[in-house]
Each structure stands twice: as structure tokens, then as C-alpha cells.
Structure 1
Amino acid sequence: MKISTKKINVNVITGFLGVGKTSLIKTLLQHKPDNETWAVLVNEFGQVGIDASLMSAKDKAAGELLIKQVPGGCLCCAAGLPTQVAISQLIQQAKPDRILIEPTGLGHPKQIIQTLCNEYFSPVLQLDSVITLIDATKVADEKYALNDTFIQQARVADVVIASKSETYGDNDLSSLSDWLSVIGAFPQHTIAGTLPLQTEALTQLQNLICHPSTFTSRIAAKPIQTQRTSFVAPQAPGLFTDNNLVEPTLLADIDWQGEMMQYFTHQQQEYVSHGWVFAPEVSFGFDRFMTWVKSQQHANVVRLKGAVITYDGILGVNWVDSDLCLSELDETFDSRVEIIVNESNPCAQPFDKAQVEQALLGCIGGH
């Protein structure tokens, strides 16, 4: 890699599932300096990769933004090889002034920070503020407050954004501050705000993202990973194919061979993702698809999202914490839907993948 005299600024934006990371990145992209080129590296827990479709098509078309996805939860893995490949490609293709990295909400961000600071990237990249989004109402729930990933995401933060502040009670912000102290997290700044951030909070964050991260002085850089990796090719597909071993970065190059849908799954501890990718010519009836979405909001479903081609346009859907958000998208190559399930919930009805999939297929066609 050719080393530039000017380092590329990098921000890691982390936080648990559904806390608003993608929404925050969209806001930052909308207000980025006009004379700068930015790139975004998105890592999703599931295999199918949806979040990049929710980014700004306008900026991508103008050549001011390059978005790369690393699906399958591997951005934060110990090996770090997918990270190094993806970042190297972003640097070579976009020559960006700034890179925003969004790790999966179920991953430890410390590994990606170590990779950014290793001997390969440190001459090229300047790690600026690490931003962690936290819903302050969650720290009163032991399911979150004692969760190792939730804790580690807070500990790496230079800046904590207390998101969804419109839902807070009188004591939620003070409870967040107390919890941060208890777990040994000492961010330099805390911003409370709704998403998208309003003018005052956004201006404060725009200034803070340019500050060098202080966390780098407290970790050892991660050595360069030199080992090769491989994957097992999937079996010959039928009309509907289950692909658990497909290389995530190859999803855009699926050879459909007459199929109309492929299914992907990924598991990490108690969380399981179920993802469906549909052939580009497949379209959904909007009303039937929305009925299906609402029928999936069970106690064990922690996240549902999709980028779906309907007869009424391209629909972006994001459901988490009983909050359903719909958006109209400018473009997508195909339709993708993903559900993330917490299998450890003893009170929830077991997730029936076959039944859910059959109901989803029933939304295809018609208006």
C-alpha cells in the first residue's frame, strides 16, 4: 500500500443492536464537508447485508461516498483478516478523507480498534474518537447491564451518545453515568439526544469526531494476520437454497440459476440471524409484506430489517424495541430480509423458521 503523507481519519461507531448506529452514520454523511470524500465500512451480524442499502444513494451516485459491507459478524473476530482486506479496498478505491466503521451490534469493538492501530495501518490511518451509542433505559436491565459485549462497547468509547433520549425518565441519564463508572468506562464526552441528532448535539459531535482517540494509548496494537482463510462452496441449489457456508462478500454475485430465493443463517451465543435474499426480478405486495412484518414482532425477535422491492417502490424496514421505522429507498439490487432471534428467552414461543419463511413467500407477487 502506498503511504500518504496525510493520514486518513477513522471513526469507529459502535453500540448494541438497534441503538441507532446506521441512523447516526446517515446523519453524519448528510452533513459531511462538501470537499471531503468519505467511506463507510458496515459489519452486520447476519449474512445477507442490508444496512448499506439504507445509506445515501445520492452521495454514492455523486462519487462522494463508498460503502463496503462485511456481513456475518466477522469484522470484530480475533483474526481480523476480513477487516484488513475491506479497509485496504476502501483506501484503494475511494482514497477517502475519512472512514466510518460500524461493527456489528453483537461484537466486541476492541479487536477492530487493535487492527486499526497495528503496524500495517498505523502509518496510514489516524484513529479519531470512538463513538458508542447507548440507550440509557437499558442499564437498569441486567440482561444488558451485565452483558459482556454491552460493557465492552461502553469501555472503548471516547464519546457516548445517549440515544433515544425522548424515551428517558428523570433518572435514566444519571443511571447511565453511574453504570459507566461501575464498569470502568470513562468517556470524555456524553451527548444526549434523539436520532437524527438535532442542531446543537450534531454540531458538538461534528467537532468531537475530529479529536484523536485516547483509547489507543490503553491497548496493544493487534499483530498483522498473515494466515490464509477458505470457505466451503455450497451444494448445488434447488429452487430455494439454504446457504450457511457461502462467503459473505460474494452475496452480490449470486448466480441464481432459476432460483427465486436463498436463505442464510448465522449464530453467535444465544443470537441467531435468519436471512433471505430474493432474485432481482422478485417483487412483493406492500400491504401483504407489512402484514407479515407486524406478525413477526414476537418476544424472542430482537431485530427485523429489510430492503424490499415492492410494486409501490423500494421499502426500507427496521423494527427493534417495538419501534417500527419505514423508509423509501432510492435503489437496491435485490430484496433482502433478516430477523435476529434471541433463543435464550424462556418465555417466548420458539421461532419456527419454516412457518415464517412460508408466510414471507406468500407476500410475493400481486399488489
Structure 2
Amino acid sequence: MKDVYLFSGFLGSGKTTLLKTMISQMKDKGLKPAVFMNELGQMNMDSDAVEEGIPLKEILDGCICCSGSEKSEAQIQTLLAEEDFDVLLIETTGAAHPVEALDAIFSPLFAEQLNFKGIVTVADSKRWMDRNSLSPQIRSLFLEQIRHADLLLANKMDLLTEGQQATVVYEIQSLNPKAQIIQTIHAKIPFSALEKLSPLQNEEVVKAPVSKLNLNAKVLKFEAPVRRELFEEWLRALPDTVFRIKGYVPLEGDKYPHAFQFAYGMAQWLPEYMKMQNQIVIIGEGLEGVELP
């Protein structure tokens, strides 16, 4: 049987960073990982994080837990039939309810081939502090992702004071007292923390499907390079309902675009050394008026 871990967490919490870290550690231990990724929009920038040679399947513009469950079963079945691997890592979209996403794993087509180890939820500690500013539907999903975890990563602890850190850990642990909680920066934990997992007997699921969240994904394409200063001014003016931006931004004076990530008001730029599509994906609520500068 192949061990399966499901990575959950809201948009921009650090799930893909955790995925990359686990892939590296598994390979160091001689294990062969495979990855199944889910994205809300029609493009999956996060799949670039999965290094070449790792078996990868993905489902776009849908949700593992909703209308895409049959597609998910087919993708996992294809992985099992065509690829040689020891561990399956499933990264859900940030808009997915983790327990609903288990439907694909427990398909009668291949359930006896998989050993589900547990749900690992990456919780953005800074977003937790400001959770009451989220819309009721989004806040409900955020809390559900934490409540149903078997292992909780209180991530981005470096952005909080010591007092805030203690408050976050106490409050998150109170919401899910059965799960182990680990304070992290950049979602860094040893693979041994996952190996010890066994799924908890969770309470009744309160469903919060994407269809009720009013979340949208929007692709914006660049017609020409932009000045970084003007682009960052545009970022600062975006509404709080923009939860996540990722993609490739062409900057004036640079030959290749920069890989770009944005979550909760914080931007990350990484240089690229090859030609990429000059576009970004924006995920959030009420994106009708959001256009490039």
C-alpha cells in the first residue's frame, strides 16, 4: 500500500512550500513521491514547484471535493496504473474543504491500494489574527480547514510578536485540541512528523463548497513590461478580497519575467532565466474591477 497525505490550507498559507520541502526530504530517504495538485483557476502556477521526474497529475478549474471528484479519481487511478511511487502527496486548492476532498482517496476503485495517513493543514498565523475581517463564508472555510486537521502547522510565525504567537497557538489548539500543532516558518518541518500521523476521528463535516464562497480566479495578461514601482503601487491599492496572486511579471530592463507570488499583502519576487508566459492569476472575491495598471 502507498501512504497518502493530504495538504490543506487557505490560499497563500504555504502548502506548496510544504510540498517542495516534503518532496526533497522523501527523496533523501530513498522514497519515491508522486503528486496530485488541484487549482481553482484554469492555470496551475504551483505545478512549476514540482521538480522534473516526479509523477504529477493535476485538475484545473475545479475542485477535488465538488464536481471534479470523478476527474480526481481518474487521475489518481492513472497514477497508480502508470507510475512507480511510494507516497502520494495531494495538495488541495485553498478553497477546498479537506474532509470533502477525501472522497477521491477512498474511491472503491483503488481504496485498498492507499493508506491514508492524515490531513496536514497549513494555517497562516497572520491571517488567523485578522480572521474576523474575512467574509463569513471564507472565515467558515478557514476554520473548517483547521478544525479537521490531523497535523496543524501554525505558519508564518516570524511575522508575529511573541505575544501574538502564543495567542495564535492557544486559539488554534482550542479549535482543534486533538491535532498536534507545530509552529513553523516557511512551513519547515521534518518528514518524520508526517510519518507519525494517523487520521483522527473527526466530527461531522460542515460543508463549505466553492460554489458558496463566491471565489473567482482571473487571468491577467501583460501586453508589455511594467515598472516594478508602479506594479507594487497597484498591489497596495488592491482590495482586501484579493487573497492570492501568482504568475510571471515582465519587468522593464529584464530579459526574462520574474516569478511572482502575493498573499495577504506580501509580495515575493524570484528571477526567472527562461521565457515564461507574461501573465498572473488572481484569486479572491469580487474581482470584476481588478485590471492591470
Which residue of structure 2 aligns with residue 301 of structure 1?
Answer: 242
- CA contact under 8 A between 2:116 and 2:199: conserved in structure 1? no
When normalised by structure 2's length, the TM-score is 0.82
Are 1:165 and 2:157 matched, yes or no? yes
Are 1:208 and 2:193 matched, yes or no? yes
Report the alpha carbon displacement of residue 52 of structure 1 after superposing the two structures with TM: 0.5
Report the alpha carbon displacement of residue 33 of structure 1 after superposing the two structures with TM: 2.8
Q: State the distance in 1 between where 2:114 and 2:249 align.
A: 36
Are 1:115 and 2:104 matched, yes or no? yes
SS in 2 for 1:51: helix
Q: State the distance in 1 between where 2:80 and 2:274 align.
A: 24
Report the alpha carbon displacement of residue 21 of structure 1 after superposing the two structures with TM: 0.8
| Residue 79 to residue 30, structure 1, CA distance change in 2 (3 Å) | closer
Which residue of structure 2 aligns with residue 229 of structure 1?
Answer: none
Q: State the distance in 2 between where 1:121 and 1:103 align.
A: 19
When normalised by structure 1's length, the TM-score is 0.67
Which residue of structure 1 aligns with residue 88 of structure 2?
Answer: 99
Report the alpha carbon displacement of residue 98 of structure 1 after superposing the two structures with TM: 1.0
- CA contact under 8 A between 1:50 and 1:336: conserved in structure 2? no
Which residue of structure 2 aligns with residue 148 of structure 1?
Answer: 140
AA of the residue aligned to 1:165: M
AA of the residue aligned to 1:208: A
Which residue of structure 2 aligns with residue 36 of structure 1?
Answer: 31
Q: State the distance in 2 between where 1:336 and 1:218 align.
A: 40
- CA contact under 8 A between 2:65 and 2:103: conserved in structure 1? no
- CA contact under 8 A between 1:12 and 1:129: conserved in structure 2? yes
Count of aligned pairs: 280
> Aligned to 1:322, which of 247, 253, 265?
265
Higher relative contact order (CA 8 A, sep 6+): 2
Q: Structure 2 matches for 1:22-33, cutoff 5 A?
A: 22-33=16-27
Q: State the distance in 2 between where 1:306 and 1:30 align.
A: 23
5+ residue gaps, structure 2, are: 205-209
Are 1:52 and 2:52 matched, yes or no? no
- CA contact under 8 A between 2:40 and 2:60: conserved in structure 1? yes
SS in 2 for 1:324: strand
SS in 1 for 2:112: coil
AA of the residue aligned to 2:35: V
| Residue 312 to residue 67, structure 1, CA distance change in 2 (3 Å) | farther
Q: State the distance in 2 between where 1:120 and 1:290 align.
A: 52
Deviations along 1:248-285, one digit per CA (max 9) or x if unpaired, are xxxxxxxxxxxxxxxxxx9763322111479xxxx953
Which residue of structure 1 aligns with residue 58 of structure 2?
Answer: 69
Are 1:134 and 2:123 matched, yes or no? yes
Q: State the distance in 1 between where 2:84 and 2:244 align.
A: 34
Q: State the distance in 2 between where 1:30 and 1:314 align.
A: 26
Deviations along 1:93-145, one digit per CA (max 9) or x if unpaired, are 32211111111111111111233124333201111131101122333432459
Q: Structure 2 matches for 1:256-275, cutoff 5 A?
A: 269-275=213-219
Q: State the distance in 2 between where 1:268 and 1:50 align.
A: 24
Which residue of structure 2 aligns with residue 365 of structure 1?
Answer: none
Which residue of structure 2 aligns with residue 8 of structure 1?
Answer: 2
Q: Structure 2 matches for 1:326-365, cutoff 5 A?
A: 326-329=269-272, 334-343=277-286, 351-353=288-290, 356=291, 359=293
SS in 2 for 1:69: strand
Deviations along 1:234-259, one digit per CA (max 9) or x if unpaired, are xxxxxxxxxxxxxxxxxxxxxxxxxx
| Residue 308 to residue 95, structure 1, CA distance change in 2 (3 Å) | farther
| Residue 274 to residue 79, structure 1, CA distance change in 2 (3 Å) | closer
Q: CA RMSD in A?
A: 3.0
Which residue of structure 1 aligns with residue 207 of structure 2?
Answer: none
- CA contact under 8 A between 1:11 and 1:99: conserved in structure 2? yes
Are 1:175 and 2:163 matched, yes or no? no
AA of the residue aligned to 2:215: Y
SS in 2 for 1:195: coil
| Residue 112 to residue 196, structure 1, CA distance change in 2 (3 Å) | closer
Superposed structure 1 runs of 4+ greater than 6 Å apart: 330-333
| Residue 80 to residue 9, structure 1, CA distance change in 2 (3 Å) | same
Largest Rg, 1 or 2: 1
Q: State the distance in 1 between where 2:172 and 2:135 align.
A: 10
AA of the residue aligned to 2:14: G
Report the alpha carbon displacement of residue 48 of structure 1 after superposing the two structures with TM: 1.9
